[in-house]
Structure 1
């Protein structure tokens, strides 16, 4: 894959796109990055490569598209087997990793969005639920450095993009994620020491500064 044509259609604040950026970096795959400003007109290439959902991220490998971020991460893992795997060989452990990645997908984004997009009781409820989700993930992490033990793996890649949004969530919600979930924050700081993560995630303050623009364009103001 490293010697073939690889294109990533992405939007810089997308935690889902960050998964692919990290995965490609971990596997040392060179690619062409194409920015998609989704709140404006979607490009013909995006509409061609993801005609069903019409959203990013989209991985394009030799003209063929792979959509949905966790599916694309698995694809990257499968086509570059000469590098350390993201998913374990054991079927049960592999199923567990997919379970937690699915849990992250179903919980994190919507709750985080409600924290910065709403106020009052709705925001307070979202904050409470968000903290509970992080505590569940802390239980899955335990005292391990990464979700894969000593190895940075599929679940880590699935979750790490949200880390650069923590400052936004905490600031808009007026709470401390580190005070509530210290193990997850320590995990995020540990992940940020990896070049693949540090070079793939935007600065947390840049994300925070973008949110007012996002709120206005989405009609939340």
Structure 2
């Protein structure tokens, strides 16, 4: 239950603390707290069946990613944060809950072990939210249009996440090398081998074969 609460509201707690919006909404809003509580109870009871619904859970997770990214960014902007700060706080809202949960249970955070696009859709959604929010404040469109655009941003984030998972789209990353060394590494290895050989000679010259029988 605690892990469920951290996953759902941990990002918002971090955001509110950094904004100075105290006490955080994650412990004061009864709607959020009760929804998290009942959701946790459902998962505990129906866990064996829920684990079989992998794609459904991926869709729900992507929807939460988009909603929290837009909500977190908008709240940061409403509290007077700069655009850059709002983007980072929006990403904190969307990603920090799962990060805190994985650290709490001693697991590698999903944002690191999941090879598919996860933080990138959130980042794009936060940037688009900033653009829409600023545009609304400049009078480019009314509040209704702003709300529709926010919904569209959530759809974009969800679509990017599901597209990445469905078609195995990943970002370039580190690859394992098999005895392939960079030029600087080759020089280092050669220098180390030369020093080891010199040390062997200083200790007594060429090593003797101890397997030969003693001369008598």
Point out the structure with the larger helix share: 2
TM-score by structure 2 length? 0.27
Point out the structure with the larger strand share: 1
TM-score by structure 1 length? 0.27
